[in-house]
Amino acid sequence: MGEPAIPGAMSPLGTPGEFAADEIEGARLLFAQQAEFLLGVVRVEQIPESDVPEIAFAGRSNVGKSSLLNALLGRRGLARTSNTPGRTREINFFALDGRLTLVDLPGYGYARVSKNQVEGWTRLVNLYLKGRVELRRTLLLIDARHGLKDSDRSAMTMLDEAAQPYQIVLTKCDKVKAEPLARRCEDIAAELAKHGAAHPHVAMTSSRTGDGIPELRATLSALAIPAQRG
């Protein structure tokens, strides 16, 4: 596909040679568009039908989900994320150039929420995951410093059972030295082998330094409706 990869153009956290220069550039252009807030839902019946491919973002509270969304979208960012006070239990939908919909799932694993709230989260997200044919991939964000926690494993099981493909994205990789980071990746990859719906490649990102962000954009861009040519 396209032009050959530019040697040395990948960030240290990317996968060298995985993307050609024109794929990285096409993805940059897609994510440079203003992400338009579509709606926030608290009940599954509120989710409108759509024929635009969706990418969902999931992870424990504080994993760096808002920061990653903002890094992907550049300085325009998202005006509204599930971190916004009062909106923590919503699923928020954002349109990107009518070619891709970004779905911000509420964070889980927050110590101070009640059992009822956890059940509410699980129910809403589960219903969304089970019925959503447009959903192309869920990015399950994991803090590179902490690795997989039990609540992440529960989320993985939920995704396996919903037969929804997902990919692990490590966040805050700037906080971990290269060697332990590589080991963390290997450990997670070994665990992923036991999960049917998991993508084998663990993406490494830092919203602070921008490492891994162009490659993640290219990964997601490949799942979007192609750009009109000419």
Tell me how far CA of residue 9 lies from CA of 12, 43, 136, 202, 230, in angstroms: 9, 44, 27, 20, 27
37, 92 Cβ separation under 8 angstroms: yes
Tell me how far CA of residue 134 lies from CA of 66, 79, 113, 128, in angstroms: 22, 24, 30, 11
Comparing CB distances to ligand GDP, the nearer of 23 and 72 is: 72
Question: If we measure between CA atoms, which residue out of 102, 123, 2 comes closest to residue 53?
Answer: 102
Whole-number Å distance between alpha carbons of 208 and 48: 34
Query: Closest separation between CB of residue 132 and ligand GDP, Å?
Result: 21
Does 61 sit near ligand GDP (CB under 6 A)? yes
Query: Closest separation between CB of residue 213 and ligand GDP, Å?
Result: 10
Stretches 65-73, 90-98, 145-153, 162-170: which one binds ligand GDP (CB under 6 A)? 65-73
Q: What is the DSSP string of 121-187?
A: HHHHHHHHHHH-SSEEEEEEEEETTT---HHHHHHHHHHHHTT--EEEEEE-GGGS-HHHHHHHHHH
141, 172 Cβ separation under 8 angstroms: no
Comparing CB distances to ligand GDP, the nearer of 83 and 126 is: 83
Give the x-and-dash track for 71-90 against ligand GDP (CB under 6 A): ------------x-------
Stretches 112-120, 160-168, 187-195, 204-212: which one binds ligand GDP (CB under 6 A)? 204-212
Token pair for 136 = 């192309």
Does 65 sit near ligand GDP (CB under 6 A)? yes
Whole-number Å distance between alpha carbons of 114 and 192: 29
66, 138, 167, 221: residue in contact with ligand GDP (rule CB under 6 A): 66
191, 199, 208, 223: residue in contact with ligand GDP (rule CB under 6 A): 208
Stretches 19-27, 124-132, 167-175, 219-227: which one binds ligand GDP (CB under 6 A)? 167-175
Query: Closest separation between CB of residue 110 and ligand GDP, Å?
Result: 9
Does 67 sit near ligand GDP (CB under 6 A)? yes
Comparing CB distances to ligand GDP, the nearer of 26 and 31 is: 31
Q: Residues interacting with ligand GDP, by CB under 6 A?
A: 59, 61-67, 83, 107, 171-172, 174-175, 206-208
